[in-house]
A = this chain, B = another copy of it.
């Protein structure tokens, strides 16, 4: 069996493991106050051209999302999100568990637009009984989105303007940020994100680390006492060095970019082959998640040798599925998959 179910099926890139082994018995202080974390922070600040940014390392995505939003929102505020946003659907209500409503807007291919956010804020503040309703206090975006799509530079600038107008914290979840940056459709870069977002993450878990998300915080309000939030949320790793070591290794000489490009290359090879076979897609994704719509008969054969995620039934005979590539994808496996699909669909 070969699995394309997700981008967290394997451990870490071998260089990451090697570096962990190399530094293993060196004694360091705990909780992220070691020299490895310090150096990794320095690299991230440089890559972002943001010498004043605070950088924190957390283990996982749900944790970092919940921690940032807990810090960003006052008790009566909620966070605006696409209805397909990870916080709206797949984090077991972690945001609500910390007291805040997710104000879900209807998305298109995983995306919302600045006009929708603006309208929501305008309606809220224009209502004479606004204090009876949750005030929008932050905007959650993911890019790539949960459906593989990307926000453009222009779109993010428009969100920024809305957030400035209505006093919202702009937070971008970059769990798959590298795959977005490596896409041919990409128009973003780290310095731009550091300017436009109050906070954003550079995901490691899905990009070649054992685990870890780097959080870049630019707004002064969010920086305040942030380590208290991490500790209270259960996100302060005792051996914080493990995150510093991994991020330093991944970012110091472009390994992150290189692995991201690999995943995108393999994803687009698969996409092109499927399109060539006349297969329609649920979403036109330019990143490492591909959502072809395949006949039941084909899937019945395919699942004997390949793992993938089932997304939704499209009609009586077809199902939309998800294939993920990643830093670890073996090109020969994609070759094999394409060959098998050709045969099944031919």
Contacts and interface: CB of A to CB of B under 8 A. Distances in A.
Given A70-B75, A76-B225, A25 B11 contact: yes
Given A11-B23, A25-B328, A228-B131, A96 B78 contact: yes
A292 interface: no
A235 B76 CA distance: 14
Interface stretch (A55-63, A148-156, A188-196): A55-63
A82 to B, nearest CB: 15
A17 interface: yes
Interface string A112-156: 000000000000000001011111000000000000000000000
A287 interface: no
B30 A8 contact: yes
Nearest to A70: B75
A127 B111 CA distance: 23
B24 A97 contact: no
A98 to B, nearest CB: 8
Contacts of A211: 237-239, 242
A186 interface: no
A3 B24 contact: no
Secondary structure class of chain A's binding surface, majority of residues:
loop
Nearest to A132: B90
B76 A239 contact: no
A89 interface: yes
A5 interface: yes
Contacts of A3: 27
Interface string A211-237: 100000000000001011111111111
B232 A97 contact: yes
A244 to B, nearest CB: 12
A169 interface: no
A205 interface: yes
A295 interface: no
Given A211-B237, A231-B92, A234-B234, A99 B101 contact: no
A96 B91 contact: no
A75 B232 contact: yes
Contacts of A2: 27
B90 A129 contact: yes
A94 B236 CA distance: 12
Nearest to A6: B30
B238 A61 contact: yes
A3 B26 CA distance: 10
Contacts of A277: none
A265 to B, nearest CB: 19
Contacts of A238: 8, 60-61, 205-206, 211
A290 to B, nearest CB: 18
Interface of A: 2-3, 5-6, 8-12, 14, 17, 20-21, 23-31, 59-63, 66-67, 70-71, 74-76, 78, 89-94, 96-102, 129, 131-135, 205-206, 210-211, 225, 227-239, 241-242, 307, 328
17 contacts: A6-B30, A11-B20, A17-B21, A17-B24, A66-B234, A75-B97, A76-B228, A90-B129, A90-B133, A91-B232, A94-B234, A98-B99, A131-B225, A131-B227, A135-B228, A234-B234, A234-B235
